[in-house]
Amino acid sequence: SKLRIPPGPLALPIIGHFHLLQPSLHKAVQKISNHYGPIIQLYLGSNPGVFVVSAEIAKEILKTHEICFANRPGNTVISFLTYGKSDFAFAPYGTFWKFMKKLCMSELLNGRMLDQLSPIRGEEIKRFLETLRKKGEANEGVNLADELLKLTNSTVMRMAISKSCFDSHHHDEADKVIQRVKESSMLSAKFNLQDHFWFCKGFDFQGFGKRMKEVRGKFDVMLEGIIREHEEDRRSQKSTANNNHGAKDVLDAILRISEDPSSEVKITRDNIKGFLMDMLSGGTDTTAVTVEWALAELINHPTAMEKARKEIDSLVTSSGKHRIVMESDIQKLPYIQAIVKETLRLHPPAPFIMRAPSENCTIAGFHIPARTKVFINVWAIGRDPKNWDDPLEFKPERFLLGQGFEVRGQHYQLLPFGSGRRGCPGTSLALNVAHTCLATMIQCFEWKVVGDGDGVGGGVDMEEGPSFILSRAKPLICVPKPRLMPFPSLS
């Protein structure tokens, strides 16, 4: 009773603070913390959760107490869908997780693998631009949420399992992947009584058990099929290369390791399926919504759009050719990089970093018991006036002048990809795709919003949707008017 617990408003019996946390958790937590301070405790039904809204306290958790906070809390649905946390993203911090992390950094998502698979990303972007061009020439609106998701899905699928949404042989399968990923992320984000009220434990009042089994069952059949195909390919030596340095895709690389009797950790079938699920669900809509928010901001800030276009045009024409901007150009496009950072500051696709301490600890002078769910509100930290001048303004220039923050977890004011050993292993892939995709969209098209925008002053409405990943409330629908004449051949 002498231990200090983080402050918070009075909790109601049974529901705790649920009534204060609607409709948007990250906004509600920011509002409550304005009153109670940067670390607060709120009851999600019967269970306490600790919410952090300060860069300093985020640093204390993610750096000073990094090992203690190296676990991630889950829920009933996540545990079931990840084969009992057999995946990588929810695996407990231990031998398997460390092995997979090493594998990601040295093989699966490292610079060499990204370079090797860069032609795939180039092809997918060209295909995406071609779709936009056709729509633009027919003066038709494009639903960018859908098209960007197809692009990122296809890119990750081709890198992970060599299948594409647009490939006629795999079209059905790719559609199924998109569908399965949508179903599982919707189910994970749903409010499950069993997770929040002790007296509901063991009772499936909402029918989640049945839906979980259906979703995982369908995912399982699909992943089994893909893995078996790859295994057969490997056996019949069809695979382009079966050695350390030439796996045809991420699944091929991971199968090789799982078949290696000298491997220090035995990778099971469930581990492989879990990892594929992590890639397909963690690496697709996050990147797609980043590009959609960035374009929406640029449409509302025409001066920034013009500046970005000039930067790209002068780089491309300096090479003496009329060509589409490429991944290898991004290093020389600081303003494009600043736009993506500013977008991730204001619209982080994952508004919370979720961790749980493995033992009792003290954070900011408050006692946090082992296994408490701790939520770092990245969205609120990115808008905190203590960290940022004009925090609600979209100003990419802030990253060119003085405030030169990076997004890879070394600056706690800006944590879109988390930080430390549990930070996002897909950061480089996500940034490659987001930068290149956005730059080509700016370079190749003028953007006309369908219905002239319905936000304040006729601009694009910037309201957020209610989902797990911070997407837009309404998809961005625009007519892309080709601006490069003649439009470069994309065949």
Q: How many residues bind ligand HEM (CB under 6 A)?
A: 25
CB-neighbour burial class of residue 355 (10 A; exposed 0-12, middle 13-18, buried 19+): buried
Binding of residue 29 to ligand HEM (CB under 6 A): no
Q: Does 350 bind ligand HEM (CB under 6 A)?
A: yes
Crossing angle (nearest 10°) for helices 208-235 and 171-189: 140
Residue 86 in the binding site for ligand HEM (CB under 6 A): no
Residues 389-448 interacting with ligand HEM (rule: CB under 6 A): 416-419, 422-426, 429-430
What would the DSSP string read from start to end of 170-183?
A: THHHHHHHHHHHHH
In this complex, which beta carbon is closest to ligand HEM, that of residue 52 or of residue 89?
89
Q: Is 278 in the site for ligand HEM (CB under 6 A)?
A: yes
* Structure-block tokens of residue 218: 């369908």
One of 11, 89, 272, 363 touching ligand HEM (CB under 6 A): 89
Minimum distance of ligand HEM from residue 410's CB (angstroms): 12
Q: Which stretch binds ligand HEM (CB under 6 A): 7-15, 34-42, 179-187, 282-290?
A: 282-290
- Tell me if 382 contacts ligand HEM by CB under 6 A: no
Pick the closer one to ligand HEM by CB: 353 or 437.
Answer: 353
Q: Which long-range contacts (CB under 8 A, 24 or more apart) does 98-107 make?
A: 99/264, 99/265, 100/271, 100/275, 101/421, 101/425, 103/254, 103/257, 104/425, 105/425, 107/244, 107/247, 107/253, 107/257
For the chain, what is the radius of gyration of the CA atoms? 23
CB of 337 within 8 A of CB of 399?
yes
Rounded Cα distance between 300 and 293, Å, is 11
* Least gap, CB of 69 to ligand HEM (angstroms): 9
Does 61 bind ligand HEM (CB under 6 A)? Our answer is no
Q: Which is nearer to ligand HEM, 11 or 368 (CB)?
A: 368
| Chosen residue from 41, 75, 287, 387 binding ligand HEM by CB under 6 A | 287
Q: Does 39 interact with ligand HEM (rule: CB under 6 A)?
A: no
Q: Does 349 bind ligand HEM (CB under 6 A)?
A: yes
Which single residue is written with the structure tokens 């003066």? 139
Dist CA 384 CA 10 (whole Å): 25
- Minimum CB separation of residue 155 from ligand HEM in Å reads 9
- 21 contacts 47 by C-beta, under 8 angstroms: no
Q: Please, what is the end-to-end C-alpha distance for the chain in angstroms?
A: 70
Task: Answer yes or no whether residue 32 interacts with ligand HEM by CB under 6 A.
Answer: no
> Is there binding between residue 286 and ligand HEM (CB under 6 A)?
yes
Residues lying near ligand HEM in the complex (CB under 6 A) are found at: 72, 88-89, 156, 278-279, 282-283, 286-287, 290, 349-350, 353, 416-419, 422-426, 429-430
